[in-house]
Amino acid sequence: MMKKPSETSITDLSTMSPAARSAAMRGGMEGWGQVGGLPEHIRYMEALVPKSRKLCHCGCRSRKSHVGKSNGVALMSGCELVVRRWVRA
């Protein structure tokens, strides 16, 4: 059986990317990596590892190069421009 992570477990900030660490410090660590997308969660973007990727949905005909995250949960992916616009919204 898979163990559920306990709510009291602390995520190590030193292993996070700078964008994730900044979002965690601004928005708090409550439910980190388990629940994302609530209005109070901080949105941020991270680059995807370079490998075979699908095309972006915006019509720019480039590959999906970034992923949009909120509270440690990936919510969307696309080209850099689309993800930056999503983070600002």
Residues 6+ apart with CB under 8 A from 81: 58, 60
pTM of the predicted protein model: 0.79
Domain range enclosing 84: 40-89
The pLDDT, as a whole number, for residue 63 is: 92
Is residue 13, in this structure, part of any structural domain at all?
no
HEC string for 15-48? HCCHHHHHHHHHHCCCCCCCCCCCCCCCEEEEEC
For the chain, the domain total comes to 1
* Tens of pLDDT, residues 31-79: 888 888 888 899 999 999 888 889 999 999 999 999 999 999 999 999 9
Is residue 23, in this structure, part of any structural domain at all?
no
* Tens of pLDDT, residues 15-35: 888 998 988 888 888 888 888
The pLDDT, as a whole number, for residue 8 is: 45
Is residue 59, in this structure, part of any structural domain at all?
yes
Give dist(CA 78, CA 46) in Å, integer: 11
